[in-house]
Amino acid sequence: MILPDSKVELAHRGNKVVYDLGDKIVKVFNESKPVSDIFNEALNLARINEAGIRSPKALEVAQVEDADYGWALVTSKVPGVTLAEKMNAEPQRFGEYLEQFVDFQIEIHGFTCTQLNRQYDKYQRMINSIDQINATTRYNLLERLNGLKSKGFVCHGDFNPSNVIVGEDGQLYACDWAHATQGSPASDVAMTYLLFALNSKEQADQYLELYCERADMPIQLPRQWMPIVAASELARNRKSDEDFLLSWIDVFDYQ
Ligand SMILES: Nc1ncnc2c1ncn2[C@@H]1O[C@H](COP(=O)(O)OP(=O)(O)OP(=O)(O)O)[C@@H](O)[C@H]1O
Ligand SMILES: [Mg+2]
C-alpha cells in the first residue's frame, strides 16, 4: 500500500506510528516488529468483530511501499474522542467516565470467544521469557498461574481509557486488540489496575473498587493476578516501568 499525503499522525510511540486516513486508521510498524504480531493483531480484531463487540473493523494487513516503513494494519475509523481525552479535558467528571469505562469492560468480559489465543499459554510463555527475574521467582509465578482458574471470557489485555473511543453515536468502542486473549476477567482487571497505577495509585484503587462492586467480583481475585500481569508487562520490555513492575512481582508479599 502507499500512504496518502493527506494522512494525519495520531500517535507515535516505540516501533509504530498511527495515522488517520479520513475514513480509515492505519497503524504502521517499523522492521523491529515481528510480522506475525501484526497478523495476530488483525486476526484478534477480526474475531472480536465477529463476536459482536463494538470495535473498529479489521480491513487489511499490507506492506508499505516506502523504505522508511514496514508493515501496516488498516482498520475502519471510529469517529469520536477517547475516554482518556475526556478524562483529561474534564477531570471533575472522572468518576462518571470511569463508570462508563468499567461498564464497557464488564460487558466485554461477558463475551466468550473460543478462537482467541489462550491466556494461560500467553502468560506461561511470557513468564518463561523474562530475564529480569530469576528461576525461583519464575517458578513461583508459574505455580501461581497454575493455581488460578482459566476461563474462556474475552480479555482485551490492554484495556485503558486511551483504547476506548466514545463514538459519535454516544456508544463506546474498544480499539487496540493486540493483546487480546480468552481467559479470566480478573486478570484483565489486574492489568487495567496496573496501567492506571503507572500514573495514579488513587485512580487505580478507584477503578478496582468500582469494577469489583459493579461486576460483583471479590477484590481478592484481581489481586491474585497482579504479580502475573506485572511480570507479563515486564516481558514487553517497556524499560521505564521496570522498577515499578518488579515491585509488584514479589509473590510472597502478595500471599
Ligand atoms: N479505529 C480507530 N478509530 C479512531 N481512532 C483510533 C482508531 N484506532 C486507533 N485510534 C486512535 O489512535 C490511538 C492509538 O492507537 P492504538 O491504541 O491502536 O495504538 P497504540 O496505543 O499505540 O498501541 P499499543 O497499546 O498496542 O502500543 C488510540 O488511542 C486512538 O486515539
Ligand atoms: Mg492504545
167 located within any domain: yes
- 124 and 187 share a domain? yes
How far does residue 16's CA lie from ligand 1's centre (Å)?
Answer: 11
DSSP string across 61-88: EEE-SSTT--EEEEEE---EEEHHHHHH
Please report the pLDDT score of residue 57 as a whole number. Answer: 98
- Pocket-testing residue among 13, 16, 18, ligand 1, by greatest number of atoms within 8 A of Cβ: 18
Cβ of 25 less than 6 Å from ligand 1: yes
Domain of 60 in residue numbering reads as 8-76
Cβ of 13 below 6 Å from ligand 1: yes
Model pLDDT, residue 137 = 92
Nearest-angstrom CA–CA distance, 18 and 216: 37
Atom of ligand 1 nearest to the CA of 75: 1
Residue 1 counted as domain residue: no
pLDDT score of 239: 62
27 lines ligand 1 (CB under 6 A): yes
Q: How far is the CA of 159 from the centre of ligand 2 (A)?
A: 8
- Claim to verify: residue 184 and residue 197 sit in the same structural domain: yes
Q: Are residues 111 and 43 in the same domain?
A: no
Distance 49 CA to ligand 1 centre (A): 16
pLDDT tens track of the chain, all 255 residues?
Answer: 999 999 999 999 888 999 999 999 999 999 889 999 999 999 999 999 999 999 999 999 999 987 677 899 999 999 999 999 999 999 999 999 999 999 999 999 999 999 999 999 999 999 999 988 999 999 999 999 999 988 899 999 999 999 999 999 999 999 999 999 999 999 999 999 999 999 999 999 999 999 999 999 999 999 999 999 999 888 886 666 888 888 888 765 545
Which of 76, 100, 128 delimits the end of a domain? 76
pLDDT of 20: 97
Q: Is 186 in the pocket of ligand 1 (CB under 6 A)?
A: no
If you measure from the C-alpha of residue 162 to the centroid of ligand 1, how many angstroms do you get, rounded to a whole number?
A: 7
DSSP characters over 5-54: TT-EEEEEETTEEEEE-SSEEEEEE-TTS-HHHHHHHHHHHHHHHHHT-S
In-domain check, residue 62: yes
Is the separation of the CB atoms in 162 and 82 below 8 Å?
A: yes
Number of domains in the chain: 2
Q: Which ligand has the minimum distance to the alpha carbon of residue 54? A: 1
Beta bridge partners of 58: 75
User: Is residue 36, in this structure, part of any structural domain at all?
Assistant: yes
User: Pairing state of beta strands 80-82 and 24-29?
Assistant: unpaired
User: Which ligand has its closest atom nearest to the C-alpha of 82?
Assistant: 1
d(CA 38, CA 28): 10
- Closest ligand 1 atom, residue 82 Cα: 31
CB 152 within 8 A of CB 183: yes
Going by C-alpha positions, the residue among 80, 82, 78, 60 that lies closest to residue 3 is 60
In this prediction, residue 246 carries a pLDDT of 87
